[in-house]
Chains A and B, each alone.
Chain A
Amino acid sequence: MDVKNLVEELGLKVLCGENLEREISGCYCGDLLSWVMSRANEGDVWLTVMGNINSVGVAVLADVACIVLTENAALDEDALKRAMQNDVIILQTDKNSYQMAAAISKLI
């Protein structure tokens, strides 16, 4: 399963990312950046409501497959710019993190 499949299966909105062919290995939910950085695994889908520039930094360092902003959480302009520079895929959904995680667990 890659990010492209995830977007198609769950009808997610793509806010940033051109190449969506990144393999997904798991999923992690969290909004505290240090916590996420230390616990999320490489290749995870990261579900969060934090759409700021530092989330992008954490996504790069933890090497997650993509960020999914749940509950239509907004993506800051600075964050979008940084994400484009670093090829970070950012998706968005109106579902909350629980609903999203439950849906993802059925797919992977």
Chain B
Amino acid sequence: MEEVKLHYDVNAYDFICAGEASGKLKRSLKDLGFDATLIRKVAIAVYEAEINMVIHAEGGVIDATITPEDITVVLADKGPGIPDIELAMKEGYSTAPENVRSLGFGAGMGLPNIKKYTDEMDIETEIGVGTTITLKIYNK
């Protein structure tokens, strides 16, 4: 298998389309013949990050690089940035507004779920500039 690169745009505050990028990525991985457990891990981690972009960051872009050894996904936004990453990583801590919570989001599980389902996770964030999250999941 050659290296495969995929790109997705994520719209802000669009809860109808939210989850489309992770859904498409999931289908692509399935078509490429990856194992179901790996696909589930990638899909959950990317879905959480995608939803974060929709809720907090006025959308952004997702770039995935797929090789037989691993899947790397870079999610970049120009949102407000994360003031306290340690706090944001805590299960149950959420800054999601009430209207978003009524949709079933805002459980404060987004970043913890991403960490749980990835082998490597790196967050670069600057207040007022944006956040870039890089995820890597090994194909063991």
Partner-B contacts on A (CB < 8 A) = 31-35, 37-38, 42, 50, 52-55, 57-58, 60-63, 78, 86
Contacts and interface: CB of A to CB of B under 8 A. Distances in A.
A33 B113 contact: no
B104 A32 contact: yes
A62 B69 CA distance: 23
Nearest to A48: B104
Would you call the interface of chain B mostly helix, strand, loop, or mixed?
A: helix
B1 interface: no
Contact of B36 (A37, A42, A52, A54): A42
B7 interface: no
Contacts of A55: 104
Given A32-B109, A33-B104, A61-B26, A38 B44 contact: yes
Interface stretch (B14-22, B70-78, B121-129): B14-22
Given A34-B113, A50-B104, A52-B15, 19 more contacts: A33-B103, A33-B107, A34-B48, A34-B107, A34-B110, A37-B44, A37-B48, A38-B109, A42-B36, A50-B103, A52-B103, A53-B16, A54-B15, A61-B19, A61-B44, A62-B40, A63-B36, A63-B40, A78-B16
Contacts, number: 68
Contacts of A62: 40, 44
Most chain B C-beta atoms within 10 Å of own C-beta, residue among A32, A33, A34, A42: A34
Given A55-B104, A61-B23, A61-B43, A35 B15 contact: no
Given A38-B113, A53-B16, A54-B19, A61 B104 contact: no
Nearest to A53: B16
Contacts of A86: 23
A86 B18 CA distance: 15
A6 B45 CA distance: 31
A57 B40 contact: no
Contact of B104 (A31, A38, A42): A31
A33 B51 CA distance: 11
A3 B48 CA distance: 28
Interface in B93-133: 103-105, 107-110, 113, 116-117
B41 to A, nearest CB: 10
